[in-house]
Amino acid sequence: MEIAHINYEGELHCTARHLRSSKEIETDAPTDNNGKGEAFSPTDLLATSLGLCMITIMGIKARDMGLDISGTEISVDKTMANDPRRVSAIGLVIRIPQNHSEKDRTILEKAGLACPVAKSLKEDVEQNVKFEWGK
């Protein structure tokens, strides 16, 4: 099933259009790899996708449990390696403003850590995830 159309616009800049919604995102090569860094790089999107997937799965689980995690914020960082050039680590700090019970927090954290993106990344991509509750 085709989900997106990507257009290379030149000078290491691309636009991707989501076919169902027609929403667009732009990418640019990072400054450390011949680009201008004027938009997310593809590897930035990879790291960001992990955070987005985790909070989406946590949101589904929270809704099913009758809990609210709206207002959650996630800081994302990535570490690049060379030879071959690749993402070697993704760091996430997930700040959930509500302070739920320990049992509910454990359930939600496990749900997030088991998201499809986390399970799709190679094992040599370090995933460093920190949850901060009641922040």
pTM, to two decimals? 0.94
| Angle in degrees, 0-180, between the axes of helices 102-113 and 42-64, rounded to the nearest 10 | 140
Are residues 69 and 116 both part of a single domain? yes
- Residue type at 34 in one-letter notation: N
Are residues 112 and 95 both part of a single domain? yes
d(CA 5, CA 19) in angstroms, rounded, equals 7
Are residues 85 and 125 both part of a single domain? yes
Q: Which domain holds residue 12?
A: 4-33
Going from the first residue of the chain to its last (135 residues), give the mean pLDDT of each consecutive group of 10, the final group possibly shorter: 97 97 97 94 97 98 98 98 95 97 98 98 97 92
Asked if residue 49 lies in contact with residue 57, where contact means CB atoms within 8 angstroms, the answer is no
Are residues 26 and 58 both part of a single domain? no
Residue 125 maps to which CATH number?
3.30.300.20
Are residues 59 and 81 both part of a single domain? yes
Q: Look at the chain and report how many structural domains it folds into.
A: 2
Are residues 128 and 79 both part of a single domain? yes
Predicted confidence at residue 135, as pLDDT, reads 72
Give the chain's largest Cα–Cα span.
Answer: 51
Going edge to edge, which strands form the sheet with 4-10? Answer: 4-10, 13-18, 24-28
